Structure 1
Amino acid sequence: MKKCHVVYLVCTAAMIGTGLGAAPASADHTTHVVHPGESIQKAVDAAEPGDTVLVTPGTYHESVRVSTHGLTLRGVGHGTIVKPSTQKAADNTCAEGGNGICVVGTKDKNVKGVTVADLTVTGFKRTGLFSAATDGLTVRNVTAVKNGVWGIAQEQSIHGTFRDNIARDNGDAGIFLANTVTAEEGAADSEGTLVAHNRLEGNRIGVTVRRLRNLAVADNYVGGNCAGVFVVGDENKPRAGDLVVRDNYVVRNNKSCPKTDRLDALQGSGIVLTGTEQVLVADNTVEGNSGKSPMSGGIVLFKSFVGVTSEKNDINGNRLRGNSPADLVNTETGDIAKGNTFAGNTCGSSKPAGLC
């Protein structure tokens, strides 16, 4: 791994030093190098499937739309920054939507195998990085900071990987995954989408998974948000669920956020399941989440706002302490409450009593 990393840096330095707009990456693919003052979008538009667009250090004021299969859009770390343009770009639906980078397929065909890596997106009215109709999108080492709604968001997509990113101080979720934003539909199969090893802090919600099935949220640091992890379903079929939330470090999500049209006021929520089924919440560390909102607490099962119960969820092997009003909270009652299992958790308090 170290050898590959060194080779990559040497190659990058060599390409930057040449000052060329494009350089051969292999026998079949080309690396298009973008320098400050040049257009990332022009390089993306010129790229063929499998090419790389390498964005050198600098601040780029534009929105970028990617729809080429197998394209890699890569910066060189925190020094590559994408911010909103002060000028209106013609025919740029990504900019018109208030987004920074958009990876989008079509209604009939997903864009496949795109990678976005090693850059910062900040200050956009809606989303730092938005994707829809993708198959196998990888978002890696992206920093999404102070965007108006979501840091990194995806809908109507499969096989996604969101790994080693930072999402901080965004208006809603740091990472937001959904079946669709614009319609009321049943949960979609994300076909193994993975959200792992991300750092999510200072957002309204660290991670939101809405109306999806078959994915994993694992090994993330989620701290200082109003709420840590939200898994959300509703009355549509199939139900949201059949997914895993495990090995996350969810701490002190005690920022206070006011009520919205969709959610009550939030503060002190660690991991919340609402309107879900067959979710495994396992081996997480959940500490110091404290508040007085209806969904406050360490791990919380909560009936959805349209009255859908949370059923057959498994809360297992988690380490909880210092959460208020309790480490474990189950607001479901009767037979539904019995259908959710709590086993092997280390905790000091629960509502109702007896869950620890």
Structure 2
Amino acid sequence: MTNRQIKSLMCIAVVMAAGLGVAAPPAAAAGRRVHPGDSIQDAVNAARPGDIITVMPGTYYENVLITKRLTLRGFGASTVIRPPVTQAAPAAPAAPAAPDAQAGAGAAAPGAPAAPARAATACSQADTGICVMGTPEQSVDEVKIRSLAVSGFKRNGIWASYTDRLSVERVISEKNGTWGIAQERSTRGVFRGNIARDNTESGIFIANTVAREGGATDTLGAIIRRNVLTGNRIGVTVRRVRNLSVTGNLLTGNCGGVFVVGDEGEPGAGAMTIRNNRIHENNKFCKGNSRLPDIQGVGIVLTGAEETVVRGNSIRGNVGASPLSGGILLFKSFVGATNTDNVIQDNVVRDNQPADLANQGTGTGNRFVGNRCGTSVPAGMC
């Protein structure tokens, strides 16, 4: 990417962030305030369900665990949560994080507690900035995280498990060792107006579960909207889930843009909308692993997906030599799952290599309609 393109990207990110109020302070103070030198976790522990915790500008060196309904909000980029300077040794070694995309059974979750006390240990072991942790018996509902930054954690910036109606908005999550913002086993999440950059795996990651195989979770309408995702391995990964939307996001400078991943489990992954995103020049190189080839120059990949609509996106200049490279790719699954009944319609797909559109595998019912593109595999889809 040229210096001019980098400057243009940063200008776009600043404009989007400003328009979404990233740097704007909360409109009104309510509930509890946390000042530099105070503990955010102490305020969370003392809060009653429904309280608002306002974190004043400054840098806070801690992990935060939330197990109740509340709002945690800061002052945009001036409220920063970073890893603790010193940490107690965990009770047991943390297992390695699951790779993105087609991770299999046995991969460790950043935390899957049976009770809040277990959640605290799991969150500490995972070395995640903010953990929102329910249980299989009782989800944590309506947690709101607003206008702050999480940076430099060994695992994730924000991690959520067993939640309903979690809302993460105007958050900057950067330079974390696995995911920027991630959620599993959860429903009706809203991820809007965030900046996720330079995270080792996905900027935003939504999955059924990272601990084992299984059919897709119905997210009941989760939303990933108007985020800026850059410098990550993958901008957005949605893995083994159904019924969500990825709309109006800017994805550039990642190794790959959007991955929709399913497997042979039932119900299948899909029934989602990917619409009106700008997915340009995701040409960073990421080395492959045992489950995935190298990733570079990837716009949108569907593998093992069904009944998904990819419509009205601008996908340009994604160039690479990986089996996954290109503009929009229906990829043959490594575990034998097929892409079926997906609609690729009215996208502008230009200057991607090796092809703007590609349909691999033995899936049926996939339709390519009204796309503006130059090259396709097989020929004739443009």
How far the C-alpha of 1:95 sits from its partner, in A, is 2.2
**Aligned counterparts of 2:346 and 2:187: Cα–Cα separation in 1:** 29
Indicate yes or no: 2:192 matched with 1:163.
yes
Residue deviations 1:131-165 (CA, integer Å, cap 9, x gap): 01000000000100000000000000001000000
Q: Does the Cα contact within 8 Å between 1:62 and 1:95 map onto a contact in 2?
A: no
Indicate yes or no: 2:162 matched with 1:130.
no
Amino acid at match of 1:223: T
The answer for the alignment partner of 2:254 in structure 1 is 225
How far the C-alpha of 1:9 sits from its partner, in A, is 4.8
Amino acid at match of 1:37: G
The answer for the alignment partner of 2:239 in structure 1 is 210
Aligned CA distance change for structure 1 residues 109 and 225 (closer, same or farther; 3 Å): same
**Aligned counterparts of 2:350 and 2:249: Cα–Cα separation in 1:** 18
**Aligned counterparts of 2:71 and 2:27: Cα–Cα separation in 1:** 16
**Aligned counterparts of 1:58 and 1:263: Cα–Cα separation in 2:** 40
The answer for the alignment partner of 1:28 in structure 2 is none
Residue deviations 1:251-285 (CA, integer Å, cap 9, x gap): 00000000113211100010000011111000000
Q: Does the Cα contact within 8 Å between 2:26 and 2:75 map onto a contact in 1?
A: no
Secondary structure of the residue aligned to 2:147 is strand
**Aligned counterparts of 1:231 and 1:10: Cα–Cα separation in 2:** 35
Matches within 5 A, 1:295-334: 295-333=324-362
**Aligned counterparts of 2:74 and 2:63: Cα–Cα separation in 1:** 15
Q: Does the Cα contact within 8 Å between 1:189 and 1:214 map onto a contact in 2?
A: yes
User: 363, 369, 376: which one pairs with 1:343?
Assistant: 369
**Aligned counterparts of 2:278 and 2:59: Cα–Cα separation in 1:** 33
Secondary structure of the residue aligned to 1:255 is coil
The answer for the alignment partner of 1:22 in structure 2 is none
Indicate yes or no: 2:82 matched with 1:53.
no
- Unpaired runs of 5+ in structure 2? 1-20, 91-119
**Aligned counterparts of 1:104 and 1:282: Cα–Cα separation in 2:** 34
**More RCO (CA 8 Å, sep 6+):** 2
Secondary structure of the residue aligned to 1:99 is coil
The answer for the alignment partner of 2:3 in structure 1 is none
The answer for the alignment partner of 1:65 in structure 2 is 65
Q: Does the Cα contact within 8 Å between 2:241 and 2:270 map onto a contact in 1?
A: yes
Aligned CA distance change for structure 1 residues 292 and 11 (closer, same or farther; 3 Å): closer
The runs of at least 4 consecutive aligned structure 1 residues that moved more than 3 Å come to 8-12, 89-93
The answer for the alignment partner of 1:76 in structure 2 is 75
Residue deviations 1:168-203 (CA, integer Å, cap 9, x gap): 000000000000000100001000000000000000
- Counting aligned pairs with the same residue, the percent is 52
Aligned CA distance change for structure 1 residues 320 and 11 (closer, same or farther; 3 Å): closer
Amino acid at match of 1:348: G
Matches within 5 A, 1:94-109: 94-109=123-138
The answer for the alignment partner of 2:96 in structure 1 is none
How far the C-alpha of 1:92 sits from its partner, in A, is 4.5
Q: Does the Cα contact within 8 Å between 2:179 and 2:205 map onto a contact in 1?
A: yes
Secondary structure of the residue aligned to 1:127 is coil
Q: If the length of structure 1 is used for normalisation, what is the TM-score?
A: 0.90
Secondary structure of the residue aligned to 1:266 is coil
**Aligned counterparts of 1:10 and 1:103: Cα–Cα separation in 2:** 21
Structure number with higher strand proportion: 1
Higher mean displacement: 302-311 or 171-180: 302-311
Q: Does the Cα contact within 8 Å between 1:157 and 1:190 map onto a contact in 2?
A: yes
Amino acid at match of 2:84: S
**Aligned counterparts of 1:273 and 1:154: Cα–Cα separation in 2:** 20
Amino acid at match of 1:343: V
Aligned CA distance change for structure 1 residues 87 and 314 (closer, same or farther; 3 Å): same
**Aligned counterparts of 1:11 and 1:319: Cα–Cα separation in 2:** 39
How far the C-alpha of 1:86 sits from its partner, in A, is 2.1
The answer for the alignment partner of 1:263 in structure 2 is 292
